[in-house]
Amino acid sequence: MNAASPPVAGTQSKSLRLAGIRRLGLRLFLLAGFGYLGLLGLLVWSEPHLVYPGAEPNQRDYARRPVDTEELWISAADGVRLHAWLLRSPNPSRTILFCHGNAENVARVANGTGRKLRDELNANVLVVDYRGFGKTGGVPSEAAVVADCAAALEWLAEQSGKTVSEITLYGRSLGGGIAVQLASRYGARELILDRTFDSLVSPAARKFPWIPVSLLLRNRFESDRAIERCQMPVFQSHFVEDELIPIDCARALFARVTNPHSEFLELPGGTHLMPLPDSYWPALRRFLDAVDRKAVVLN
């Protein structure tokens, strides 16, 4: 009997060590779990800052206002005053509402793509800052920024003597999500999209694969659903090597476009913030000329 005692004691000691390891493992698991839940909570809280970082007004940008550009303040439905610039063409053939990305403001757009749109297309171009961007006050949300652009669209239609469905909508990046929603609700002469997504969930899930983005994201901008209600021609462009919104997200959106006279332009190389190449503008003009010819034939 005495000879059997040591193995029993050794077994008990080993069992105690295993139990201690299990308790430590459980504590570490719970600690990691609570840490993960805390991180998710932080991301949910910070979502507005991630989706709408805004672009602070840089006085150097605003001091370089293009010629024939008028500064405006447009009232949103809830009274928020929206800062905007209207770039006027001497002989406009189109009127465009520009919905910009989440790191832009009217000055940055107007001195770049906005001016090119006016000069290349002979268009009047309205660029508006949604609430929380540039000089516009207020707190942004998906519903709020779409409503802000709807107010700008109605103002532009009234000032130009057109219906809202006769305005060309241009949306870049996050602004593409806004422009698609406007087009699905109000119609448009054409819908021009640059570097945008099928749904904000899609690029966000790729960037954060370890987060249940589809469950947590509130600002979703589900363009893939809204674009199916858009009847106008769509011109969509995307850089092949866009690192922020992969081109697959853009292709998924264009796959749902219903108008057969639409076009998808793949731009070689590039980054998400890279200026549009010179080759973009002839392609856009050819597309719009074709749309105009079809409109003449139909009328």
Cα distance between residue 211 and residue 50, in whole Å: 15
Query: pTM for the complete prediction?
Result: 0.87
Please report the sign of the dihedral spanned by the C-alpha atoms of residue 113, residue 261, residue 232, residue 205.
negative
Residue of 153, 155, 117, 111 whose CA lies nearest to 134: 111
On the question of pLDDT at 171 being above 90, the answer is yes
CATH number belonging to the domain at 52-298, selected among 3.30.479.30, 3.40.350.10, 3.40.50.1820, 1.10.1580.10: 3.40.50.1820
pLDDT at residue 25, rounded to an integer: 67
Query: Please, which pLDDT band fits residue 35 given cuts at 50, 70 and 90?
Result: low
**C-beta pairs of 62-67 under 8 Å, 24+ apart in sequence:** 62/107, 64/107, 64/111, 65/107, 65/110, 65/111, 66/110, 66/111, 66/114, 66/115, 66/118
**More confident: 15 or 82:** 82
pLDDT of 234-274, one tens digit each? 999 999 999 999 999 999 999 999 999 999 999 999 999 99
Strand, coil or helix: 286: helix
- Integer angstrom CA distances of residue 245 from 68, 195, 238: 34, 7, 9
Q: What is the mean pLDDT of residues 123-144?
A: 94
The stretch 195-207 carries a mean pLDDT of 93
Q: Is the pLDDT of residue 1 over 60?
A: no
Q: Residue 299: is its pLDDT beyond 70?
A: no
Q: Does residue 61 register a pLDDT over 90?
A: no
- Write down the mean pLDDT value for the chain: 89
| Residue 144 clears pLDDT 90, i.e. is over it | yes
55 or 288, greater pLDDT: 288
pLDDT of residue 209: 83
How distant is the alpha carbon of residue 34 from its chain centre?
32
- The reported pLDDT for the residue numbered 63 is 82
